[in-house]
Amino acid sequence: MLNTLHMIRLDYVSCILTVLATVLIGKKLWQGWVVAAVNSAVVCVIGVQTAQFGFVPANLLCIALYTSNLVNWRPKKQHQ
């Protein structure tokens, strides 16, 4: 598993996820918040791998904000 992670260019993965999340959120789709949260997790991994630990708390906060936005953006079920 670790060999696979070393072969994958996480910076490119993060780039693709950033663009995808931006497009989805721009189209007002709640799935964009999920993609953005996954991207923040990828950035946390990049931060740990490169010893740029400042990325970790910032992106954990982003994941919390994305979760909050996801809850607020999801369609509300109407009780009948």
Does position 55 have pLDDT exceeding 70, yes or no?
yes
Residue span of the structural domain in which 38 resides: 2-73
Is position 23 within any domain? yes
Q: Determine whether 69 is exposed, middle or buried from the number of CB atoms within 10 Å of its CB (0-12, 13-18, 19+).
A: middle
Return the higher-pLDDT residue of 74 and 59: 59
In a domain, 78, yes or no: no
Long-range CB pairs of 46-50, under 8 A, 24+ apart, other chains included: 46/10, 46/11, 46/14, 49/10
Whether 57 is in a domain gets the answer: yes
Exposure pattern of 24-46 as b/e (b: 16+ CB <10 Å)? bbeeeeeebbebbbbbbbbbbbb
pLDDT at residue 8 in the model: 82
